[in-house]
Structure 1
């Protein structure tokens, strides 16, 4: 599916946007079609109704913005030892075996089902994140032959760092994704 199709846009939008499309289709069918064709015109709203219900379910399952903001605020107030313990609990809860890596560009080595992941989080409080810590993490990852490198931050990651991460396959974890990881452990 094209990322700019109406279905794709509605799958990224709030649930009520799809319901608005449903309402427009039903009202237009009722007003513009002859009586014997109105039910068929209204059936055209079914895919949009499905998308709206799916998005409502998705949005109901995720944490609300207030809880996300509170979790990120609490994480920002933590000292490194507390935050690293929080991350370790969160990853262990997901089933990873977590090994701390002191004195390295990476802070944790995660293993699960034969896959190895390096996580760098020590600079999580920095106001801005550039390319250099990502380069260090990537170099460490290549030297240890890992599958995935993950960089955790509360602050803004520069556009240059984002493009570097995308180009080299480094996963950036911040904002709502980070809150989802730590929310039940804060």
Structure 2
């Protein structure tokens, strides 16, 4: 018999990491109050110790949520990026990537616009079609071809519009990630 471990993202802890911080804090509080009300005084510590994982998850989730841009910030950055010309958008992206500790090389060949290097790993970024209303498979194929040619570990496609279902399938099969408005707001913060 083989044991299968569930993916962390499907576990209760994975779900709580993606939820609001106060949900984990509320579960921890229920553990504490439940142990105090249901257990004899000498066993209260057992219930309190049971709440520790939920307290830790609450703190991690709160830290992540504090660092994440708000919905209004995401909207503002997306609206500003949508009206930028390519030269300004490319400059802002490059500055954001460099601020995040990446070495940035601008590429003129098709398929990718930037090569990011950090910690010995290379990622290719395609950003020139960020304003497209709908993204299909073809630009992703070009990005994948550039990735294979350069031997890059990651491929990132910057998009503000809609992505077709076939493009999502292709990206999933080829491990291409999308940088959408929330991720773009993190990169372009302060620009």
Q: Same fold (TM over 0.5)?
A: yes
| Alignment equivalent of 1:75, drawn from 64, 78, 81 | 81
Q: Which residue of 2 aligns with 1:52?
A: 58
How many residue pairs get aligned? The number is 185
- The structure 2 residue matched to 1:85, chosen from 81, 91, 103, is 91
Whole-Å separation in 1 of the counterparts to 2:186 and 2:93? 11
Q: Distance in 2 between matches of 1:91 and 1:174?
A: 15
User: Normalising by the residue count of structure 2, what TM-score does the alignment of the two structures yield?
Assistant: 0.83
Q: Normalising by the residue count of structure 1, what TM-score does the alignment of the two structures yield?
A: 0.85
Give secondary structure in 2 for the equivalent of 1:183: coil
Asked if the contact 1:87–1:182 (Cα under 8 Å) also holds between the matched residues in 2, the reply is yes
Query: Structure 1 residue 124: deviation in Å?
Result: 0.4
The reply to whether residue 166 of structure 1 matches residue 172 of structure 2 is yes
Q: Measure, in 1, the Cα distance between the counterparts of 2:129 and 2:121.
A: 24
In the TM superposition, residue 64 of structure 1 has moved relative to its aligned partner by 2.6
Number of the residue aligned with 2:32: 26
Give the direction of change, closer, same or farther, for the CA distance of 1:38–1:110 in structure 2 (3 Å limit): closer
Shift of residue 183, structure 1, vs aligned partner: 1.3
C-alpha contact 2:113 2:124 (8 A) present in aligned 1: yes
> Superposed, which structure 2 residues align to 1:136-175 within 5 Å?
136-175=142-181
**1:3 and 2:16 aligned:** no
RMSD over aligned CA atoms reads 2.2
Q: Matched residues in 1 for 2:43 and 2:101: separation?
A: 55
User: Do 2:77 and 2:181's aligned partners in 1 also have CA atoms closer than 8 Å?
Assistant: no
